[in-house]
Structure 1
Amino acid sequence: MNNVWWSRAAIAVLVITAALAWAFIPAVNLFINHSIAALASLDQQGIEHFIHSWGPQAAVVSFFLMILQAIIAPLPAFVITFANASLFGAFWGALLSWSSAMAGATLCFYLARILGREAVEKLTGKSVLKSMDGFFARYGKHTILICRLLPFVPFDPISYAAGLTSLRFRHFFWATAIGQLPATVVYSWVGSMLTGGTFWFVTGLSILFALSVLIVMAKSLWLARGKNEH
């Protein structure tokens, strides 16, 4: 219980410190505003240029961007993953994207635990959060793993929604770590070779693949339920 309390306290202090820095330090305010503008453009090449412009600090800036997009969902993370792969290569880009996405997911989870449902609804929107609740009602303890495997299910709202449930953090963490790995590897591998509009084609293929995975998993869950009932 003490570890949980300290974790929540640490994240609360981190968020408050960041908010104060944004409000009272002009350089921080300018950097965050430029970061949000880069993310809002949904332009992979624009985000890549923004990250690259920071030179030796590029990887740190990319890590921050991934966390920032997690907080201000539903900005998509895959454009950052493509940019990372293009800038740092398939392996290091994937490692950077995976680790920063894990940090963002953890932050969303604990923010939900600290702030509660009303605050989360303001961050994600009531309708989005309600649809996330539907996933938990339908898939139960398998929700995180299933949703992480599906690129069309928003990554961050699921993290927020999980924080509002009784799900233990370690279960959330490992399901997220495993579930997001395939998409991160695929996006990074493709992003290291392709640029421009081509990645939309790859995204479409990834969605088709994810649908196939969902069908197989849903069938397995249905068969398992049938066996339990008998």
Structure 2
Amino acid sequence: MNRNKLILLTAVLLLLAGGGWFLHDSGFFQAVRSLEALRAYIAGFAPYSHLLFFLVQFLSVVFAPIPSNIVAAAGGVLFGTLPGFLITFTAVASASLVTFSLARVLGREFAGRIVSKKLSEKYQGVLRTKAPVFLTLAFLFPFFPDDILCILAGLTSLSFRSFALIVLLARPWGLLFASALGGSTLGLSPWVMVPIALVGLALFLLGMKYGNQVEETVLRRLKERRSGDTE
């Protein structure tokens, strides 16, 4: 690694470490365990709640264990569906592009410090040959570690323009649903909210139960198509 890349990598890691320390020290990782606690955490930073919300969502793309959809729902509660969604999507999309670009510039030195070897080996082969299709599916369905995939995609030959287009077309929908679910708690009657909550719970439970099977099926089908293309 040349000197400029080393300096950039060090600066990025220091910024990430600082962001992680801020979230930990401010109590975010305790607040994220429930929607109400997260709402109170963000509201506690008024009048800078919008800025903090953007920062938290931006960092959630790098700190993959932070669930972006839960934070999006809290934003819907605090700011309303549309403002919450716009802040969320702006933060998530920009962070996705940043992590992709960092991986493209810094290479495996950066990716290896954030993505485990097991996950990298699991997805790298499919991303090299079927990146546009696989990334679109991963961003649309909640079964994949989509934030980590942004980093791994930067190690492939996928162009920045193509990646940006996939992010803009595929990433908004889950965030919009979560923002709408949070925002609707302010304006909808219980007769409307109860069915929405039940549908959301059903989707969550199905994802928990069958998510691994769906993920493995998608990976297997894409690998089969890759094998067929090379014959």
Q: TM-score, normalised by structure 1?
A: 0.72
Match of 1:19 among 9, 15, 32: 15
For residues 162-206 of structure 1, what are the alpha-carbon distances to aligned partners after superposition, in whole Å with 9 as ceiling and x for unaligned?
A: 1111111111111011101221221111122359x9654453467
Percent identity over paired residues: 23
Distance 2:16 2:167 in 1: 30
Q: What's the offset of the Cα at 1:56?
A: 1.9
- Output the CA distance in 2 between the equivalents of 1:16 and 1:140: 25
* 2:177 corresponds to: 186
Runs of 4+ aligned structure 1 residues displaced above 6 Å come to 205-208
Three-state SS of the structure 2 residue aligned to 1:56 is coil
- What corresponds to 2:204 in structure 1? 203
One-letter amino acid matched to 1:42: R
CA contact (8 A) 1:74 1:124 kept: no
| Cα distance in 1 between the residues matched to 2:36 and 2:167 | 27
**2:138 — aligned with what?**
147
Aligned pair 1:76/2:72, yes or no? no
**Change in 2 beyond 3 A, CA 1:201/1:175:** same
Q: After superposition, where does 1:74-153 map in structure 2 within 5 Å?
A: 74-137=65-128, 139-153=130-144
SS at match of 1:124: coil
**How far is the alpha carbon of 1:142 from its aligned partner?**
1.8
Partner of residue 172 from structure 1, selected from 145, 163, 166: 163
Instruction: Please report the RMSD computed on the Cα atoms of aligned residues, expressed in angstroms.
Output: 4.0
1:120 offset after TM fit, Å? 1.2
Cα distance in 2 for residues equivalent to 1:20 and 1:98: 20
Q: 1:39 to 1:108 in 2, by over 3 A?
A: farther
Deviation at 1:138, TM superposition (A): 6.1
The number of residues matched between the two structures is 208
Structure 1: gaps spanning 5 or more residues: 1-7, 23-27
Distance 1:21 1:120 in 2: 15
Instruction: Please tell me whether residue 38 in structure 1 is matched to residue 28 in structure 2.
Output: yes
Separation in structure 2 between the aligned mates of residue 118 and residue 78 of structure 1, nearest angstrom = 29
The 2-side partners of 1:161 and 1:20 are apart by 18
> Which SS does the other structure have where 1:189 is aligned?
helix
State the distance in 1 between where 2:16 and 2:102 align.
17
